Structure 1
Amino acid sequence: MKEDFLYLEISNNIAALIRDGVFKAGDRLPSVRMLCQEHHISMNTAKRIFLELEAQSLIHSKPQSGYFVSQLPYRRLALPEVSKPLVVSDNKEPEALIRKVYANMGRKDLTPFSIGAPSGEILPLAKLNKEIMYATREMAASGTGYEPLQGNEELLRLIAARSLAWGGRLREDELISTAGGMNALSFCMMALAKPGDTIAMESPCYPGSLQLARSLGLKVLELPTHPVTGVETDALKKVIHKINLCLLVPNFNTPLGSCMPEENKKEVVALLTKHNIPLIEDDIYGDLYFGTQRPKCCKAFDTAGTVLLCSSFSKTLAPGYRVGWVAPGKYKEQILKLKLVHAISSPAITHAAVASFLKSGRYEHHLRKLRSTLQQNYLHYIDAIAAYFPEDTRISRPQGGLALWVELNKQINTTELFDAAMKYKISIAPGRMFTLQDQFENCMRFSIGLHWSEDVRLKLKQLGKLVTSML
């Protein structure tokens, strides 16, 4: 187990140095023997690390010479531009487009690049099935009864313990379970805002959050967002007196995959606290980091209880189990009241099953494998895009999460591309879905949560042909 952990940690570290350009194309890497000495690992583990890096096309071997860094084709592709949304209130919801894209969810004959969740092929389904059976057998009344209002106590205790990984010191009595992440966000918005209030969000932003805000009668103010560092803090400062609350996804948001630097998180929390503006923090992707350390949450810098931290296991373990939670700070009683009115109880069996999975230690093992798989997928995707898409294509550089943002030539309309791709049984997420304004028409989001295969590569190649034909 320790060797497996070291293998992943060392290979991920070297991969990150190559991606970041510290090791450049043609550079010779340390020898197998040197790697053993430096990291106190066995010869087999060292060889396994190099084989892993070769499998990701990051390095290649030369007989009698050792291992060298390969040329990465995606490096010629630029980053997407910083978004420039207008400060407007006449939001135009892309409802018809969203319905059209998600109407195909669950179709077995599609390659669903549009669905931002891990596929079942990379999830521990057999182990989860056993946990469901165990929960049904062990729970009172076989799990048919109601849970306590606050949630499954064991689950909340284990979530609180895991908060240490991102600098949090949560207690189980500070947490409330919910039926998934969207349920947590919904309770927070309902507790904090009334129709006509203005909520600030990143731009582009997850369509579900935009639709939720609009359904509650809120005005959405979209903030300029950098593809690497996330929301522009200076832009937030300029509109601070126009907003009533804020919703951010600081760690590996969708669709950009950006991750706010720690100093930016501190600054945002301090700014919002000063103006007594609540921050709903959606940390649903925080566990899916590609590096060696989990990024901190904004909640780690919350001293006034004004950050409501929401998350779930939908993007890491079981999308359909609907296991989410919120650490609502000083708004705990409002959230509990809403949960009582709207839900009464969280789903008992699935919440107990996830609690058991966490307690066994299997979740951390699964996360290590999942992070490695997603990182490899990301590299496969960008290599394919660099090979098959036009040279002026721009791509994001996520350091975690499930999303890859692609910006095409201004001539390309990705809503039209969606219709063309569906003829080849390929589903994409057009950029217009991720905004309430007339922008991102030439962009799209890929989910990297599919099981990588030759068929996926060929579907990306077909997409590249379609894009080229539309120019």
Structure 2
Amino acid sequence: MKNRETLYLKIAKIIEDQIHNETLVLGSKLPSVRSAQKLYNVSLNTIKQAYLELESRSLIESRPKTGYYVSKSSQRTTALPTIASIDNHETENTPEELIDKVFGTINKSDVTQFALGLPGKNFLPVAKLNKGIINAVRNRGDAGTAYEPVQGSEELRRAIAKWALVMEGKITEDDLVITSGAMHAMYNALMAVTSPGDSVAVESPAYFGILQAIKALGLKAVEIPTHPLYGLDLDALKKVLPEIKACCFVTNFNNPMGFQMPDENKQELVKLITQYNVPLIEDDIYGNLYFGSERPKPCKFYDEAGLVLWIGSVSKTLAPGYRVGWIAPGKFKDKIIRQKLVQTVCNSSLYSDVIADFLEHGRYDHHLRTFRNKLYANYLQINRAVETYFPDNTKIAQPKGGFMLWLELDERISTTELYNTALAQKIVFAPGRIFSQYNQYNNCMRLTYVLEWNDRVDSDLKKLGSIIKNSI
């Protein structure tokens, strides 16, 4: 297995070098998969993996019925966002009101929604889910009215454990607790490993929901700088670990930056938290939305001490309204179950049955393949639109998966002020200010590309670019 993995990466590196030294120039057509198979004397699957790897790095792009070409993104001229110096001074300008304003657009059907990570209907297998609910009602003797175990449906836990191939058998149904979505799991994990007044390390910028949960529990967030491609600054984390009671990170396709921590960094992170005996709450809800050839490992894979609390969900990929998530809490499992008993007793048995059936019969894997293809196509579209319509000095992140694009604009721009102007034109985005507890990222914004791409979306990005240009 290792040799095959090394082989496809070796072929990808050869082609990457040809692109960088301009043996292959912008628009050049690559050999077909079958031609490349003969050229390199390898299997078709190895070539497909090599091409997927190059696609995930935006070096090549596939065009329907014609093949693979060197992409415009391979000649990338836009800079990556800068690594922030955390200004950890208290500020009266807290972002709660701004967060409320952004979430206030959740049901507005007349706006173009770049702000919230909500998959459009065309991304979801709605008809199959509806059929699954009907079948669940028919197949259950109680029609879904009875309680299920506090730990969660055994069938669903078993299906998740079997489906989570990325863990290579290290997770069983007994290791999992079903939750009402990922945020419920996050909240419970924080409650299980901290007490009011404790400090929790988070990435900066950080998902605003995590910052709000930390604040609601009377905890203190300690923001750790991140690199836009490689993620967490481990040296900065190491300096504060002696004073930290827990870490809370999104290591795969972080929200909002989109980075994927390299495996060696994840191993080093697990080594550090084990050394200092600090629990790590790992939000891995985007882990299955990769652009490359395979799903990246979570930190939980490297955890031997039971200190990593691994969180997953179908809220971003399959059925947001079902509120089905899970957590593998390691040595904190009993505490999590006790907390859940007090809070919600159990989850909806009907929704558990529908999701278990989707996982068990391969429907979820099929759906995810389609989902990822649409996401990647949208990412290329939004990246092209930003490069075309936004000011030339816009800095653009380079996500490896997920569905968020982080932008850094001219430092004279306030995206908080821009928000109202854009909203008046029926366009919403997430201002950078809400991704920190401090008064920073004011010239940044997050755009989601998990929406149906059409002429209006393209036109509204053009409008947004004009609004930004006119504000300088």
TM-score normalised by structure 1 residue count: 0.89
State yes or no: 1:470 paired with 2:471. yes
Partner of 1:382: 383
Q: Aligned equivalents of 1:239 and 1:269: distance in 2?
A: 15
State yes or no: 1:292 paired with 2:310. no
Partner of 1:112: 113
Shift of 1:83: 2.3
Counterpart contact for 1:91–1:436, Cα < 8 Å: no
Q: Aligned equivalents of 1:17 and 1:109: distance in 2?
A: 45
Q: Structure 1 stretch 28-37 or stretch 294-303: which is displaced more?
A: 28-37
Partner of 2:353: 352
Unaligned runs of 5+ in 2: 1-7
Counterpart contact for 1:132–1:350, Cα < 8 Å: yes
Q: Deviations over 1:389-426 (max 9, x none)?
A: 00000111001001110110011111111111111101
Q: Deviations over 1:15-61 (max 9, x none)?
A: x97799565425441157615757777xxx9xxx9xx99xx994789
Shift of 1:90: 7.0
Counterpart contact for 1:74–1:386, Cα < 8 Å: no
Counterpart contact for 1:93–1:211, Cα < 8 Å: no
Partner of 1:84: 85
Secondary structure of 2:468's aligned partner: helix
Shift of 1:367: 0.4
Counterpart contact for 1:74–1:383, Cα < 8 Å: no
Partner of 1:234: 235
Partner of 1:123: 124
Counterpart contact for 1:89–1:221, Cα < 8 Å: no
Q: Aligned equivalents of 2:160 and 2:362: distance in 1?
A: 13
Counterpart of 1:110 in structure 2: which amino acid?
V
Secondary structure of 1:239's aligned partner: helix
Listed as ranges, the matches of 1:425-444 within 5 Å are 425-444=426-445
Partner of 1:206: 207
Partner of 1:163: 164
Secondary structure of 2:164's aligned partner: helix
Counterpart of 2:87 in structure 1: which amino acid?
L
Q: Aligned equivalents of 2:271 and 2:354: distance in 1?
A: 38
Q: Aligned equivalents of 1:67 and 1:303: distance in 2?
A: 42
* CA pair 40-303 structure 1, distance change in 2 beyond 3 A: closer
* CA pair 200-133 structure 1, distance change in 2 beyond 3 A: same
Listed as ranges, the matches of 1:139-154 within 5 Å are 139-154=140-155
Shift of 1:143: 0.4
Listed as ranges, the matches of 1:65-464 within 5 Å are 68-72=69-73, 75-87=76-88, 93-167=94-168, 169-464=170-465
Q: Deviations over 1:161-193 (max 9, x none)?
A: 122224451010010000000000011111111
Q: Deviations over 1:121-170 (max 9, x none)?
A: 11111101111111111123110111111111111011111222244510
Q: Aligned equivalents of 1:455 and 1:313: distance in 2?
A: 28
Secondary structure of 1:141's aligned partner: coil
Secondary structure of 1:148's aligned partner: coil
Partner of 2:4: none
Counterpart contact for 2:60–2:68, Cα < 8 Å: no
Q: Deviations over 1:221-262 (max 9, x none)?
A: 000011111111011011111211110100001100011111
Percent pairwise identity? 46
Counterpart contact for 1:88–1:221, Cα < 8 Å: no
Counterpart of 1:341 in structure 2: which amino acid?
V
Counterpart contact for 1:394–1:407, Cα < 8 Å: yes
Q: Structure 1 stretch 66-75 or stretch 125-134: which is displaced more?
A: 66-75
Counterpart contact for 1:272–1:279, Cα < 8 Å: yes
Q: Deviations over 1:410-460 (max 9, x none)?
A: 111111111111111011000001110111000000111111111111111
Secondary structure of 1:25's aligned partner: coil
Q: Deviations over 1:283-338 (max 9, x none)?
A: 01000000001100100111110111111100111111100000010011100000
Counterpart contact for 2:199–2:221, Cα < 8 Å: yes
* CA pair 304-67 structure 1, distance change in 2 beyond 3 A: closer
Counterpart contact for 1:58–1:72, Cα < 8 Å: no
Counterpart of 1:444 in structure 2: which amino acid?
M
Counterpart contact for 2:19–2:74, Cα < 8 Å: no
Secondary structure of 2:445's aligned partner: strand
Unaligned runs of 5+ in 1: 1-9
Partner of 2:26: 25
* CA pair 88-20 structure 1, distance change in 2 beyond 3 A: farther
Counterpart of 2:343 in structure 1: which amino acid?
H
Q: Deviations over 1:98-133 (max 9, x none)?
A: 001111111110111001121111111110111111
* CA pair 67-433 structure 1, distance change in 2 beyond 3 A: closer
- Count of matched residue pairs: 448
* CA pair 234-70 structure 1, distance change in 2 beyond 3 A: closer
Counterpart contact for 2:329–2:336, Cα < 8 Å: yes
Partner of 1:3: none
